[in-house]
């Protein structure tokens, strides 16, 4: 059996890979979102036709579903390409925030999100408390949040939207700590450098990417300044 020091060192190296892929995905999404928002042809192609926009959303959901459900069957190379493909599609749809909000407020909220995410990620990584009991509560919260967002598509209530974003910030803040601890437990000690290890890192990066992006978007709705 490896010593605790060896286990801690391997976990640290594993999370370096997780965060590297997460930040790469965010860089792809952010860069493509900014480029798209400043390209009139792309803006018109994506947002002038609602069907194209929703087709991109469906493509994102499909990629996440396939990646999450088929990760064991996929090769590490395919998993990487699918993750980056999802980040690229998400970048195209995220271009809308550059059209709606000022660049200054986007940067400010991104920094705030980074601080909140970093604090909760550290808590999830270093805490000795078992956070697994949070899972069912957070899952039910996500389901309720999704239902509320669908209902508000018809209500178009500003107050309801504000409440939804407040609840979402709480949920995704807690999810960050929960997911970091879950990813740490998921890491199989001893398979470092294998394809399985790479796929574990990709899945961890995807989970944390989703936590960060959702936390950022809901904070932006609460704190962002519109153009």
DSSP code at position 194 = S
| Mean pLDDT score, 57-79 | 92
pLDDT beyond 90 at 209: yes
Would you say 45 and 93 are in contact if contact means Cβ atoms under 8 Å apart? no
What pLDDT band is residue 102 in, cutting at 50, 70 and 90? very high
Q: Is 101 helix (H, G, I), strand (E, B) or coil?
A: strand
| Mean pLDDT score, 60-66 | 92
pLDDT digits (tens, 9 = 90+) for 174-183: 999 999 999 9
Quote the CA–CA distance of 80 and 76 in Å, as a whole number: 6
pLDDT digits (tens, 9 = 90+) for 135-152: 999 999 999 999 999 898
pLDDT digits (tens, 9 = 90+) for 105-134: 999 999 999 999 999 999 999 999 999 999
pLDDT cut 90: percent of the chain above it: 81
Lowest mean pLDDT of 6-10, 119-123, 215-219, name the range. 6-10
Show the 3-state SS of 134-162.
HHHHHHHHHHHHHHHHHHHHHHCCHHHHH
| Mean pLDDT score, 210-221 | 96
Question: Containing domain of residue 192, as a range?
Answer: 4-223
How many domains is the chain partitioned into structurally?
Answer: 1
pLDDT beyond 90 at 51: no
Quote the CA–CA distance of 89 and 54 in Å, as a whole number: 11
pLDDT value at residue 50: 82
pLDDT value at residue 1: 66
What pLDDT band is residue 192 in, cutting at 50, 70 and 90? confident
Q: What is the pTM for the complete model shown?
A: 0.93
User: CB neighbours of 58 closer than 8 A, spacing ≥ 6?
Assistant: none
């Amino acid at each position: 059996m490896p010593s605790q020091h060896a286990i801690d060192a391997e976990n640290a190296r594993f999370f370096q890979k997780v965060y590297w892929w997460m930040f790469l995905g965010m860089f792809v999404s952010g860069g493509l979102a900014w480029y798209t928002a400043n390209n009139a042809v792309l803006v018109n192609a994506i947002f002038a036709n609602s069907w194209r926009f929703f087709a991109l959303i469906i493509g994102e959901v499909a990629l996440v579903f396939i990646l999450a459900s088929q990760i064991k069957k996929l090769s590490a190379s395919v998993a990487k390409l699918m993750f980056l493909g999802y980040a690229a599609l998400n970048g195209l749809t995220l271009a809308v925030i550059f059209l709606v909000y000022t660049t200054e407020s986007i940067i400010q909220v991104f920094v705030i999100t980074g601080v909140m995410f970093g604090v909760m990620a550290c808590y999830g990584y270093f805490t000795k408390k078992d956070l697994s009991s949070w899972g069912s509560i957070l899952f039910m919260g996500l389901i309720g949040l999704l239902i509320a967002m669908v209902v508000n598509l018809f209500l178009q209530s500003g107050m309801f939207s504000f409440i939804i974003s407040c609840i979402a910030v709480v949920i995704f803040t807690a999810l960050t700590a929960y997911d970091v601890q879950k990813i740490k437990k998921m890491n199989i000690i001893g398979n470092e450098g294998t394809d399985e290890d790479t796929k574990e890192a990709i899945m961890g990066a995807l989970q944390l990417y989703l936590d960060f992006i959702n936390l950022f978007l809901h904070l932006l709705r609460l704190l962002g300044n519109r153009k």
